[in-house]
Structure 1
Amino acid sequence: MRKLLIGLFLVLAAPLLAAPSQVPHITSEAQFAELARTSPGGRYASFPQVMFVIDRAAKGGPMLHFVNSKQYEFHIDFVQRTYLSTQDTNALLDANYSKDNRRFIFGSVLHYAALGRYGIEFWEGDELNAEILTLTMALVQQNFPAPLAFKPNSQHQSVLAATIPGLVTIDQNAVYASRSELVLNPGKATGRLRIIPKLDDDVLLTPSDIVVLGEAPLRLSPVAGIVTNEFSTPLAHVNLLAKSWKVPNGYVRDAVSKFAPFDGQWVRMEAGETITIRLATIKEIAAAQRVQAKRKVRIAKSDLTFRALPALGDLRVGDAVRVGSKAANLGEVAIQRHPGKDDFEVPPGFAIPFAWYQDFLRINGLDRKIAALLLDPRMRSDGKYRREQLAVLRAAFNAGMLPAGLGAKLAERRAAAIGDGGVFVRSSTNSEDLPGFNGAGLYSSVPNVTDQAALEAAVKVVWGSVWNDGAFAAREAAGIDHRSVMAGVLVQQGMNAEASGVMITENPFDPSEWGTVFINAKRGLGIRVVEGRRVAEQLLYRSDPESIQVLTRSTDDAMLSFDAGGGVREVAIEPGRMVLTDARAKRLAKVGRRVAIMFGNRPQDIEWLMIGETIYIVQSRPYLRGN
């Protein structure tokens, strides 16, 4: 019996004996893989990681421990459980991440397979100095079989790296782009696969399509799932739309060729830690078709009796039934902001309620034109025809007459609420921010409107954007009654932003990570941020302990700025330069968390801009987590 128990113990212990808790050297790629773990979320998502600890107080000089990262989740776990230190967790954190005289150096070696390189990384909040970084690079390299480089994860680390002669570094953007996959919205879907190398206006998509796109599109009508060959940021409109539709989407390198054998067939797509596509079963196809047949989003009844032009400071969330959620939510932020206490401003503005849109339709006969279009069966079967008819309708909006007296009221309200200077004219409809229908990016905005005639024209453009092709297709797929859609308008002081972007008050890669804010930033006006065609500066704020992780720097070589004659112009800039310092990013993240509190601490998708050191909030909407 004793021999049996000993034998059983040896069998159970074999995996641990094969993979020790730590080693002083790594001699091969196979040994690295034996110790490494790959996490789908968190700081080092999708890259194999082996943690290391350097004990600077060891007898005989600094001692290196490569940690079995499958066995230990954190450096401190290893230090405490192997009795290298008996300090508690808080004391270890305080002593070994910010002190020059620290005993322990905590870092990781990561393998970026697509780059064919290994790199050393530290926690983004680690306030390294040159001595610690130089010692680490030398000691780890002496005990590692492949060349190592340093990948900075913060502003401080980037600045430090530049001061050390001969230090080889790895660019953050190159690492971000080296991923072979990136799941932006997890989930499962069944649909007909369509390979589309380049999406154009004549392609008519259906809610039953799973699309594999050669290029990340600026706009997309509702589909069942999305895979692209190109990266786009988590806050690009396409990804926000995917979340609102609750469909899986992500990036796969060479997706067009990889999934080409499935083109035209019904498939099952699953996006979790990775993205997989296989042929769907008959049962899965039938279930997907039943769900699609039942999908319908309802819009709350609107108040069409209200014709005042309220200032933002007079609006609350409940006024969404009169002016739309964008204007109402921003009014809530403006009202709840504590002057002198909150570290942000809300540019002044006013709203044009739904009643004026309804009047405009009636006096110009547009209500009859819309009714006729909605009865036309070709609007739902012929993509080119639908696009042409909607363009004709929008042209009729542009040529229409404003309701009597509205022009004078606009001039008077603009002078009282905003004053001189350009304004932004933005949509604020009742078909946005609905459960199951986000509506991001569907409607139009007009920037830097300078004179009265341009303002009146811009209001008609925004009203007409209710009938943008993408907006029509999205509502059609969601089962929204087009006749119930009402367009409000938000007129707001134009701010010629020096930096701008979007932030969400949680980690989109790992929503369970409490106290995080994800920030996208670019120089100039924020129009380019949500397009997602260029990589924005991406930062992740963590509150405990406080840190800013740099995911990417902006790749833009141009920014948008106000033109003196109205509208915007493009200005050349140096690509790759930092948009936000750590100090500004921390301020911005705290503003985001403050705004989230105003809405019951529910995650928010917030548009912001900066001029000098002043932060401005220009939109807050609920952030949809997707599946």
Structure 2
Amino acid sequence: MSIGARIKFDPHIRLPALPEPARHIPAPSNIAPVEAATALTDRTMFEAFAARDDVPGILAVREVKFLISGYDQDVPTLHFMNSTRNPLHFDFARDHLGFVHDVATFNRVTYFAEDRQFLAGTVLAYDNFQRPDGSQGLYALEFWPTDPVSTTYVAQAFQMVEARMEFAQGTLAYHPSGDVQEQLLIRDADDFASHNVRTVSTTELFDGIEYNPLNLGEAVGILRLMTGDDPRPPSPTDIVIYETLPNDLPLVAGVISAAPQTPLSHVNLRAQQNDIANAYLRNAAQSPLLSEHVGKPIRLSVTADRLEVVPVTTVEMLAALETRRPANTQTPPRNLGPRDIVALDDLAWTQVDAFGAKAANLAELRRAIDPKYVPNGFAVPFSFYHDFMVANGLYDALQVMMNDPAFQDDEQRKDLLKAFRKDIKAAPMTTPMRDKLDAMHRAFPEGTTPRCRSSANNEDLVGFTGAGLYDSYTHRLDEGHIEKSIKQVWASLWNLRAFNEREFYRIDHLTAAMGVLVHPNFDDERVNGVALTRNFYFPTFEGYFINAQVGEDMVTNPDGTQTAEEVLLLQNIDPEKQHPYETVYIRRSSLVSSDDTVIGHKDLMELALQLKKIQTHFQFLYGRSTDESFAMDVEFKIDSHGKLAIKQARPWTG
């Protein structure tokens, strides 16, 4: 039964009577009431037992875990666990139910089998879910995503939980949270319906969510609705409302989007990188909470449950802005010693201060994993950019421009920087420099279209990714000397969003430098995607989080009408299965059919093996081997021939 049916949320529905043993469950005599209960009497008790947890796609959801014991004795007993005191089912069984075996044995008698001693599950409160009748709230009954829980077990758990959470009757639904459970639901739809088990699919769940906090925190600034009617670029004093997600996010005070975001969207990456409060709110521009404050300074709080808005004065706003900025000028590392272009296989990771982190990390990737997965190419050092700027007097011109009073006006600054970028592109390059770049270009196989990518001294660093800050260019076969594309990359150091971000963080503009990473361009992509080398939804289990989309469609920032495929690869805990990871589809791509996927199982397993190697290698390299929060943010492609290519790896800033 789907939540779309009117019967789904009728509070007067009465479920079939429970089996006699289940209706007369004795209270556990040896479990303290603070640890567990056989019933949750009201919402207050639910919240007292609930822990906050990040679940796939949604942040800080209240959840109460439960364990049904006694299946081996035909007397199933439901235990609602105080989930802040007992975060793991195994620990609860050991500490309070007298289970004396190890965790492997517990898993064997609790998951994946038809004959079980325990059934482990969770009730999650999706309070910002809008039901079909317009009312709010959904309680979702969920199990471990890869556990093939049968209709019989689901139905009995559903009946027991709803009978002992009377306040949730009519609003409890079974959510098959993994692919294997979705397939069982499709296969056994008639059985679920005959047991009156309400169900909600992952698609229905996400479509019904009206509010989703992606980066908790506070923002103080002027609330602005970003439309084509206002040509002014966003500034650090703005809290912006976007109807659709931008490809690049300037430095702002806070973000509210009416378009759903993914955890790996450029918008959320930048929000986490810069500690910017960020949330999705359906129909944000029309929200009564926000509309009366547009154009006024406010304090916006992005909390786990809601947005909160309080008016502030301009003085308070400016004071809050200053607290976000560093106290002193920052000078990025810039080693101008290396004078030659270097092949990636000859570039040491320690030369990051001369070639930039993007180039150094890609060179290191070729050592971390089989180099067949990583593009080969060259790195152009900072010294080329510096010598070019000196030879053409561009540092002096830059200083004059920044001292011009007109430069302090945002709109005039935008125009002046645009003119300066044109000057960079038009300035001549010395013959020796042109010859070295030409020799690099000719070193690629004939017919190659090189991709020239930014590798600045203030991007792809620990704690600061600079994601989307600078530009990359493909040098086409009919464009002549490659100096054109190299100068375009250099010029992107001086786009408005990059300048303003450096200014905000008091980074010395005159020591900012741009290296260039050059490798063959990826054309005819079947899949593009990003991945994190850490399972941040179930951190006690090894795993990887992957966003992927068809072809060259934007995976990080879809246009507001598209959704990317979100996949969680989880460490396999089923001893009967041979492959190391289980697949959990969090969201399906809107560009493929409902029964299809963007990435096939074989490609996912191949990618996972490389992600594991990348995590291990760079965690050691960065001196973070014992840091469980460390992860790498990886960009990858799969071409039309099915070949996997990993094109970037940088430290995750979340």
Equivalent position of 1:569 in the other structure: none
What is the CA distance between 1:412 and its match in structure 2?
3.1
1:375 maps to 2:415: no
- Listed one character per residue, the Cα deviations across residues 561-611 of structure 1 (whole Å, up to 9, x for unaligned) are xxxxxxxxxxxx557842234554354344223223333344222212234
The alpha carbon displacement at 1:22 in A equals 2.0
SS in 1 for 2:431: coil
TM-score by length of 1: 0.79
Equivalent residue number for residue 421 of structure 1 = 448
2:9 is aligned to none
2:180 maps to 156
Aligned positions of 1:294-313 closer than 5 A: 294-296=326-328, 298-313=330-345
1:113-163 CA deviation, whole Å, 9 max, x = no partner?
52425544221232x1xxx42213433455544387553333333344343
Residue of structure 1 equivalent to 2:352? 320
Residues 1:171 and 2:190 are matched in the alignment: no
Counterpart Cα distance in 2 of 1:538 and 1:608: 14
- How far apart, in 1, do the equivalents of 2:556 and 2:103 lie? 39
Match for residue 96 of structure 1 among 110, 135, 158: 110
After superposition, the CA RMSD in angstroms is 3.9
Partner of 2:156: 139
Determine the C-alpha separation between the residues in 1 that align with 2:566 and 2:362. 24
Q: Is the 8 A contact 1:111 1:119 kept in 2?
A: yes
Q: Counterparts of 2:257 and 2:595 in 1: how far apart (Å)? A: 24
CA distance in 2, matches of 1:16, 1:84: 14
Query: Does residue 462 of the first structure (1) align with residue 462 of the second (2)?
Result: no
Letter paired with 1:170: V
Aligned AA (2:178): S
Give the letter aligned to residue 273 of structure 1.
A
Deviation, structure 1 residue 475: 1.8
Task: State which drifts further: 298-307 or 32-41.
Answer: 32-41
Report if aligned partners of 1:155, 1:581 keep a CA contact under 8 Å in 2: no
Aligned-residue offset at 1:292: 4.8
| Structure 2 counterpart of 1:227, from 245, 256, 268 | 256
- Does the Cα contact within 8 Å between 1:197 and 1:215 map onto a contact in 2? no
Question: What SS does the corresponding residue of 2:638 show, helix, strand or coil?
Answer: strand
What is the deviation of 1:313? 0.9
Q: Distance in 2 between matches of 1:574 and 1:380?
A: 51
Counterpart in 2 of 1:8? none
**d(CA) in 1 for partners of 2:505 and 2:380?**
26
Cα separation, partners in 2 of 1:458 and 1:293, compared to 1, 3 Å? closer
The one-letter code matched in structure 2 to 1:65 is L
- Per the alignment, residue 567 of structure 1 pairs with none
Q: Could you tell me which of 197, 222, 238 is aligned with 2:267? A: 238
Distance of 1:287 and 1:261 partners within structure 2: 23
Confirm or deny: 8 A CA contact 2:59 2:304 kept in the other structure: no
Q: What is the alpha-carbon distance in structure 1 between the residues aligned to residue 328 and residue 241 of structure 2?
A: 25
Alignment-derived partner of residue 560 in structure 1? none
What pairs with 1:204-353 in structure 2 (closer than 5 Å)?
A: 204-256=233-285, 257=287, 258-274=289-305, 275-279=307-311, 288=320, 290-292=322-324, 294-296=326-328, 298-337=330-369, 345-353=373-381
Look up the match of 1:4.
none
User: Any idea what SS the aligned residue of 1:330 has?
Assistant: helix
How far has the Cα of 1:477 moved from its partner?
Answer: 1.8
5+ residue gaps in structure 2?
1-28, 132-137, 163-168, 194-198, 574-580, 625-629
Q: Give the drift of 1:363.
A: 5.1
**2: distance between equivalents of 1:472 and 1:223?**
13
Deviation per CA, 1:30-70, whole angstroms, max 9, x where unpaired? Answer: 699579736242458555545455568455x5746363555
Question: How far did 1:417 drift?
Answer: 5.0
Distance of 1:303 and 1:73 partners within structure 2:
49
Which letter maps to 2:278?
A: N
Within-5 A mapping of 1:388-407: 388-407=415-434
Contact 1:48/1:111 (CA < 8 Å) preserved in 2? yes
- One of 617, 621, 626 as aligned partner of 2:646: 617
SS in 2 for 1:304: coil
How many Å separate the matches in 2 of 1:576 and 1:82? Answer: 43
State the shift of 1:441 in Å.
0.3
- Deviation of 1:266 after TM superposition, in Å, equals 4.5
Identify if the C-alpha distance between structure 1 residues 407 and 621 changes in structure 2 by more than 3 Å, giving closer, same or farther: same
Q: Output the TM-score relative to the length of structure 2.
A: 0.76
Distance 2:172 2:472 in 1: 48
- CA distance in 2 between counterparts of 1:604 and 1:85 reads 38
- Contact 2:533 / 2:612 at 8 angstroms: preserved in 1? yes
Contact 2:146 2:179 in 1 (8 A): no
CA change 1:29–1:215 in 2 (3 A) is farther
Tell me, what secondary structure is at the counterpart of 1:331? helix
* Pair 1:554-2:589 in alignment: yes
1:41 partner SS: strand
Check conservation: 1:195, 1:260, Cα contact below 8 A: no
Residue number among 582, 607, 611 corresponding to 1:592 in the alignment: 611
Taking the TM superposition and a 5 Å limit, the aligned residue runs for 1:19-168 are: 21-23=37-39, 37=50, 39-42=52-55, 45-47=59-61, 49=63, 51-53=65-67, 57=71, 63=76, 65=78, 67-68=80-81, 72-77=86-91, 79-80=93-94, 83=97, 86-110=100-124, 112-113=126-127, 114-116=129-131, 119-126=140-147, 128=148, 132-140=149-157, 142-143=159-160, 144=162, 145-146=169-170, 150-166=174-190
SS in 2 for 1:598: helix
CA contact (8 A) 1:229 1:254 kept: yes
CA pair 413-17 structure 1, distance change in 2 beyond 3 A: closer
Is the contact made by 2:59 and 2:214 (CA closer than 8 Å) also made in structure 1? no
Structure 2 Cα separation of the partners of residues 460 and 200 of structure 1: 33
Q: Is the 8 A contact 2:36 2:79 kept in 1?
A: no
Letter in 2 for 1:314: D
Quick check: 2:545–2:566 contact (8 Å CA) kept in 1? yes
Distance 1:447 1:232, change over 3 A: farther
Q: Letter of the aligned partner of 1:551 in structure 2?
A: I
The residue type equivalent to 1:386 in the other structure is: R
Q: In 2, are the aligned partners of 1:424 and 1:494 still within 8 Å (CA)?
A: yes
* Residue-pair matches, total: 581
- Cα deviation digits, residues 518-568 of structure 1 (max 9, x gap): 22222223754356754322223344745443321223x3xxxxxxxxxxx
Instruction: Give the direction of change, closer, same or farther, for the CA distance of 1:137–1:603 in structure 2 (3 Å limit).
Output: closer
Alpha-carbon distance in 2 for matches of 1:139, 1:448: 62
* Deviation, structure 1 residue 494: 2.2
CA distance in 1, matches of 2:612, 2:101: 33
Structure 2 Cα separation of the partners of residues 18 and 596 of structure 1: 40
Q: Distance in 1 between matches of 2:252 and 2:385?
A: 30
C-alpha deviation, 1:437, in angstroms = 4.1
The 3-state SS of whatever aligns with 2:647 is strand
- Give the conservation status (yes or no) of the 8 Å contact 2:564–2:589: yes
Q: Percent of counterpart pairs with the same letter?
A: 27
Q: Kindly tell me: are residues 451 and 178 of structure 1, through their superposed partners in 2, closer, same or farther at Cα, counting changes over 3 Å?
A: same
